[in-house]
Structure 1
Amino acid sequence: MTGEIKQRSSFELTMRRLLSDRAGLVSLSFILALIAVAIGADAIAAITGHSAVAQFHDIGLTPTGLPVPPGTDFLFGSDQLGRDVMVRLAYGARVSLSIGVVASLLAALIGVTVGLVAGYFGGWIDGVLGRLMDLVMSIPVLLCMLSLVAVFGSSLALSVTVIVFFSWTTMGRVIRGQVLSLKEREFVLASRSMGAGHLSIMVTDILPNLGAPIIIYTTMMVPTSIIFEATLSFLGLGIAPPAPSWGGMLAEAANNSIYMFAWWLVLFPGLALLLTTLSFNILGDALRDALDPSSSKHRLRKKPSKLVEAAS
């Protein structure tokens, strides 16, 4: 008697493929741990007794005025002002993750809206929105940021605004291309023939079929936003000091070549940036493979079993 075949939903199949990706699980674990560090930054500061801006000139600097290397008092060492590098890294994680996630979500929202409208209506609307995306992509980022900082001053809100303004075009182009192919499908033509309105077709028929690319590209926009913020902070255009950020910590280490005497000032912020961006990129690849069962990765996994079946 043959066993009963259990039917699995698309969500169950997606989760099964995602959980079988070891690299994706490791990346997800690191991201969750980083989120826990960012949320618990206040607890870390309380446990160590060091705030992110407190300067310990007596125990945080050597008699010659150099930073203290990693040890019992400062696990990740101190910086040139005697501040705890580990505590500043934790608060920097909060800044980088908040900017990366918020900016990516806002950029995705704008990009999806513009791409959906441009791809669905086409014609002159597509032309105008397409030229708008070209215009945004042609604006020099640093010149724009310098002008805004000169007028409004450095702030977290300004960094998010600039990142969103220059990031939504990527999502817009991707969604536009997807909508151009989806709007000619049979289910869209059937809804149109039944008298459904444009908004109803876009929201109920086309948008649900864009879930996979939206999730994937939003995930992959997070590391780009984090690097964007770190670059702005490194150039002095990000959040105003003494608020900690990974890019700002690297910039402070580069001043007066202090990193030549204190390697930890470059190693730990740089490693945090590298591992964070790498983890989000690997997670984005894992989500792409999990949401797309026809990907090459799954085809390669199935190939040996097919050969065995053919041999038998």
Structure 2
Amino acid sequence: MMSEAQLDAPKVVQRSSANLTFRRLMRDPASLLAAVFILALVAFAIGAPWFAGWTGHDAIEQYRDTGLSPVGLPVGPNHEFLLGADQLGRDVLVRIAYGARISLAVGVAAALAASFIGVTIGMTAGYFGGWIDTVLGRLMDLVMSVPFLLCALALVSVFGPSLWLSICVIVFFSWTTIGRVIRAETASLARRDFVQASRSLGAGNLSIMLRDILPNLSVPIIIYTTMMIPNSIVFEATLSFLGLGIVPPTPSWGGMLAEAGANSIYLVAWWLVLFPGLALLGSTLAFNILGDGLRDALDPKGRRVKRRRKPAKPVTEG
């Protein structure tokens, strides 16, 4: 039988690390707002065909009779074109929705591929060390020294602009960021006692890397992968803006901004720059805020906590 004191004692509730991470994230209003915006953006991109059917406008079809004024200028936001029309009479709202599909697809695919390559090379270099670490480390330095735009121009001149080429270029210039971090973390973990114990028990190198080291790298992998998504979105928009990315008339945010700058049409049609620019700014800002929130939630000990210190009392003599 349990005593009354034992019955009245508060029960200790054990929570998993995932539950604790979720609770910390829920206490961060900025991260919650960013997560809601990202979910809304994903729903907006998935619902692009619904927006096209609801407005009755296609993403690439030109509505010169209703989308252009009698003098040939694009019409502004109205009841038929909620975000206005572009210089060819196409619906800006529908094009932004389809452009969100391109940006999210490129951002997520490039971030995942870059993370996979960076984690693989970084773990290999950090675990084995020696000449393998030297060769792979110099490979990272070589990739980081290659000019981004010159490489993109060279590849486009040979293969032509395409979606897959954009993803490959972004992955090529992104994997070194997470690769250097994983390399340093793996080199530190490889000297820990639990790794030495696994090695003394006869575990192979691949088994140690996958079962012992990789789970301890989950926090930086999740954080840096999330932070690479907005960078990939910006890279894709930059390539499309320069004519090196998505081939027109397929809508993309960078391509829409480039078309708005042609012949300075944005001077009389401000909505051609405002709405695609806000979509690009909002998506990158939301992913960056969410990445910061995940970093604080997954690694609370690494946060910089500002504590107020009480001023020391003056020492009085006597």
The normalised TM-score by structure 2 is 0.93
Q: Secondary structure at the match of 1:100?
A: helix
In the alignment, structure 1 segments of 5+ residues that lack a partner are: 308-312
State the distance in 2 between where 1:10 and 1:168 align: 28
State the distance in 2 between where 1:226 and 1:245 align: 11
Counterpart residue number, 2:264:
257
Bigger shift: 286-295 or 223-232?
A: 286-295
In the alignment, does 2:71 pair up with 1:64?
Answer: yes
- In the TM superposition, what is the alpha-carbon distance from 1:295 to its structure 2 partner? 3.2
In the alignment, does 2:254 pair up with 1:247?
Answer: yes
Counterpart residue number, 1:206:
213
Q: Secondary structure at the match of 1:237?
A: coil
Counterpart residue number, 2:225:
218
Q: Which amino acid aligns with 1:187?
A: F
Counterpart residue number, 2:204:
197
Bigger shift: 3-12 or 103-112?
A: 3-12
Written as runs of structure 1 = structure 2, the 5 A alignment for 1:7-156 is 7-156=14-163
Q: 1:169 aligns with which of 152, 172, 176?
A: 176
Aligned length: 303
Q: Secondary structure at the match of 2:65?
A: coil
Listed one character per residue, the Cα deviations across residues 288-311 of structure 1 (whole Å, up to 9, x for unaligned) are: 0000121336x45xx69x99xxxx
Listed one character per residue, the Cα deviations across residues 23-55 of structure 1 (whole Å, up to 9, x for unaligned) are: 101000000110011111111101111010011
The normalised TM-score by structure 1 is 0.95
- In the TM superposition, what is the alpha-carbon distance from 1:2 to its structure 2 partner? 1.5
- In the TM superposition, what is the alpha-carbon distance from 1:59 to its structure 2 partner? 0.7
In the alignment, does 2:300 pair up with 1:280?
Answer: no
- In the TM superposition, what is the alpha-carbon distance from 1:195 to its structure 2 partner? 1.3
State the distance in 2 between where 1:224 and 1:278 align: 10
Q: 2:273 aligns with which of 266, 287, 290?
A: 266
Once the two structures are aligned, what percentage of the paired residues are identical? 67
Q: Which amino acid aligns with 2:254?
A: G
Q: Which amino acid aligns with 1:84?
A: D
Listed one character per residue, the Cα deviations across residues 61-95 of structure 1 (whole Å, up to 9, x for unaligned) are: 01111110011010000000000000000000000
In the alignment, does 2:240 pair up with 1:233?
Answer: yes
State the distance in 2 between where 1:23 and 1:86 align: 27
Which is higher, the Rg of structure 1 or of structure 2?
A: 2
- In the TM superposition, what is the alpha-carbon distance from 1:231 to its structure 2 partner? 0.3
In the alignment, structure 2 segments of 5+ residues that lack a partner are: 1-7, 311-318
State the distance in 2 between where 1:157 and 1:6 align: 49
